[in-house]
């Protein structure tokens, strides 16, 4: 029979506790949630929104928590999120999700990307192309 001192047992528990603390957050290790991708979304926000995007914001706040929680994100008594600086929010916030490749919150968000552009977007393209032929 092996006897373990109380001090050794305490140290073993501390090591186990430290292993839990050191584990990286899943959202940080996820490729699309990384700081690099957040910076990319900031820079590409000057580009137009892809024509296949449809839907509206459901005020879930999940896009405001990518990498870190936005300091301007607040919640009302019903749990709906809102932006404290909505009228002055950054372009990346106004346009998220701009493309399907940056659409990290697809399982929650009210926006969707269709496989083909909607008829509304097709008609505007046709008008533009017919004007360029004249």
The whole-number pLDDT of residue 115 equals 85
Q: Which structure tokens are listed for 12?
A: 């073993």
The whole-number pLDDT of residue 69 equals 92
Per-residue pLDDT of the chain (134 residues; tens, 9 = 90+): 445 455 555 544 444 444 443 333 344 445 556 888 888 889 999 999 999 999 999 999 999 998 889 999 999 999 899 999 999 999 999 999 999 988 989 999 999 999 876 665 544 444 444 444 44
The whole-number pLDDT of residue 26 equals 45
The whole-number pLDDT of residue 32 equals 58
Q: Which residue has the tokens 């009302």?
A: 76
3-state SS, 35-96, equals HHHHHHHHHHCCCCCCCCEEECCCCCCHHHHCCCCCCCEEECCCCCEEECCHHHCCHHHHHC
What pTM was computed for the model?
A: 0.58
């Amino acid at each position: 029979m092996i006897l373990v001192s109380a001090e050794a047992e305490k140290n073993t528990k501390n090591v186990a506790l430290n292993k839990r603390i050191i584990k990286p957050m899943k959202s940080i290790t996820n490729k699309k949630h990384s700081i690099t991708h957040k910076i990319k979304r900031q820079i590409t926000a000057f580009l137009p929104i892809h024509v296949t995007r449809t839907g509206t914001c459901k005020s879930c706040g999940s896009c405001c928590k990518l990498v870190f929680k936005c300091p301007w994100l607040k919640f009302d008594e019903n749990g709906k999120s809102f932006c404290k600086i909505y009228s002055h929010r950054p372009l990346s916030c106004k346009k998220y999700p701009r493309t399907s490749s940056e659409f990290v919150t697809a399982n929650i968000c009210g926006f969707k990307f269709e496989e083909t552009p909607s008829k509304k977007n097709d008609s505007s393209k046709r008008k533009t192309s017919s004007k360029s032929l004249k």
